[in-house]
């Protein structure tokens, strides 16, 4: 399986994040991608290629130009306001506050375009997030060219980013942009299977009213885990998209055996839907040693995950999302890819 990777993604290198009431060392860091790349090379999973530089058009199919422009011009605005370090939002237009005003101040705009205070924005964030999108789109294009699978080594991740907001370490919704790109290039039905430990709220919301992009997600129960406000079992789509979203929230402490029934159900939905292609939002944070997560996958379980997904028999883009146990991240990720190729 070919891997797509861009060094430019490493330019987003946050130092701190706001978490548990403290400024802590950031966990969504460049070494995550570096160790996966190193393991891909060591275990010879296939050729590694740099992404093509895509224009803004495929991004604008998913995110509005105002939001994209905000991220693009952010650093200039931030430094013009006299700030120099990483940025965090701290005020949001929630219930009873206005959404529709034209705001000048950078702090107001930060809140307008974000969902949380845990996602640092820096000087090179936009450039790295664009490279992450390019990585996802290049992998999708490999599928269109006839590859049976491809691995997009994306960073920063994407599945929490919504139509016009960043959050959960995500800026552009890589999986959503890739899915829409596949639709725009001749595929009729695309499935997204999100196996990150956290619910992919951004991806779900993008396609909630659409039957042409199926969204399936298995994750920690949001009543006990981030992102808290989406990802419950009763969210199944709306309007024309009714029945084309499915969620399997699972309790903290879930191990592979407890996870399998949900995975089997998700695979059954995939067989019924018969997608022309599948995008796997591949978070590796169900791992037992993950520093911010509460599931109990072992490294071997990621081999099993890959083997099971191969049986679905659909052209597949694996697209990296979360996973923060850096030492094991390469092994866990490549286990999925090898499991898939061998299964």
Q: Which residues bind Zn ion (CB under 5 A)?
A: 196-198, 283, 285, 322
Please state whether beta strands 22-25 and 16-19 pair in parallel, antiparallel, or not at all (unpaired): antiparallel
Whether 160 sits among the annotated catalytic residues: the reply is yes
Please report how close the Cβ of residue 276 comes to ligand OKP at its closest, in angstroms: 26
Question: Is residue 167 within 8 Å of residue 161, measured between CB atoms?
Answer: yes
Cβ-based nearer residue to Zn ion, 156 or 339: 156
Binding mask 71-90 for ligand OKP (x = CB under 6 A): --------------------
CB contact set of 108 (below 8 Å; sequence gap of 6+): 91
Does the protein bind ligand OKP through residue 306 (CB under 6 A)?
no
Does the protein bind ligand OKP through residue 202 (CB under 6 A)?
no
Does the protein bind ligand OKP through residue 169 (CB under 6 A)?
yes
Interacting residues with ligand OKP between 226 and 255 (CB under 6 A):
226
Q: Which of 34, 134, 301, 321 is in the footprint of ligand OKP by CB under 6 A?
A: 321
Question: Is residue 330 within 8 Å of residue 31, measured between CB atoms?
Answer: no
Cβ-based nearer residue to ligand OKP, 116 or 143: 116
Q: Of 159, 160, 198, 219, which one is the catalytic site residue?
A: 160
Question: Is residue 248 within 8 Å of residue 260, measured between CB atoms?
Answer: no
Please report how close the Cβ of residue 73 comes to ligand OKP at its closest, in angstroms: 25
Does the protein bind ligand OKP through residue 290 (CB under 6 A)?
no
Please state, in angstroms and rounded to a whole number, the distance separating the CA atoms of residues 145 and 20.
45
Q: Which of 20, 22, 100, 257 is in the footprint of ligand OKP by CB under 6 A?
A: 20
Does the protein bind ligand OKP through residue 283 (CB under 6 A)?
yes
Please report how close the Cβ of residue 77 comes to Zn ion at its closest, in angstroms: 29
Residue 299 has phi, psi (to 5 degrees) of: -60, -40
Cβ-based nearer residue to Zn ion, 63 or 160: 160
Please report how close the Cβ of residue 245 comes to Zn ion at its closest, in angstroms: 18
Q: Is 249 helix (H, G, I), strand (E, B) or coil?
A: strand
Token reading at 190: 């695309």
Alpha-helical (H) ranges within the chain are 30-42, 57-60, 65-80, 106-112, 125-144, 174-184, 201-206, 256-273, 299-310, 326-342
The closest alpha carbon to 327, from 29, 57, 82, 9, belongs to: 29
Please state, in angstroms and rounded to a whole number, the distance separating the CA atoms of residues 226 and 293.
10
CB contact set of 92 (below 8 Å; sequence gap of 6+): 111, 112, 114, 115
Q: Which does 226 bind (CB under 5 to 8 A by kind): ligand OKP, Zn ion, none?
A: ligand OKP
Catalytic site residues? 160
Q: Which residues bind ligand OKP (CB under 6 A)?
A: 19-20, 118, 157, 160, 168-169, 196, 198, 226, 283, 285, 292, 321-322
């Amino acid at each position: 399986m070919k891997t797509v990777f861009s060094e430019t993604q490493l330019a987003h290198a946050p130092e701190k994040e706001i978490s548990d009431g403290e400024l802590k060392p950031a966990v969504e860091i460049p070494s995550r991608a570096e160790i996966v790349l190193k393991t891909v090379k060591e275990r010879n999973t296939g050729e590694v290629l740099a992404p093509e530089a895509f224009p803004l058009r495929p991004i604008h199919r998913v995110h509005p130009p105002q939001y994209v422009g905000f991220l693009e011009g952010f650093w200039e605005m931030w430094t013009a306001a006299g700030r120099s370090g990483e940025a965090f939002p701290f005020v949001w237009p929630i219930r009873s506050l206005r959404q529709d005003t034209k705001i000048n101040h950078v702090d107001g705009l930060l809140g307008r375009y974000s969902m949380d205070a845990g996602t640092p924005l820096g000087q090179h964030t936009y450039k790295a997030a664009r490279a992450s999108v390019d990585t996802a789109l290049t992998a999708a294009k490999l599928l269109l060219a006839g590859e049976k699978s491809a691995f997009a080594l994306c960073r920063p991740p994407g599945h929490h980013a919504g139509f016009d907001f960043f959050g959960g370490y995500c800026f552009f919704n890589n999986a959503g942009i890739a899915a829409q790109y596949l639709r725009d290039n001749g595929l009729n039905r695309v499935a997204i299977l999100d196996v990150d430990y956290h619910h992919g709220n951004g991806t779900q919301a993008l396609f909630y009213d659409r039957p042409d992009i199926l969204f399936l997600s298995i994750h920690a129960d949001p009543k006990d885990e981030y992102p808290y406000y989406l990802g419950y079992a009763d969210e199944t789509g709306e309007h024309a998209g009714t029945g084309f979203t499915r969620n399997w929230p699972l309790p903290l402490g879930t191990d592979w055996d407890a996870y399998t029934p949900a995975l089997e159900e998700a695979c059954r939905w995939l067989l019924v839907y018969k997608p022309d292609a599948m995008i796997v939002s591949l978070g590796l944070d169900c791992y037992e040693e993950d520093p911010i997560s509460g599931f109990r996958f072992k490294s071997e379980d990621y081999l099993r995950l890959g083997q099971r997904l191969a049986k679905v028999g659909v052209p597949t883009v694996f697209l990296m999302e979360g996973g923060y146990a850096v030492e094991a991240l390469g092994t866990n990720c490549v286990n999925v890819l090898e499991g898939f190729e061998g299964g």
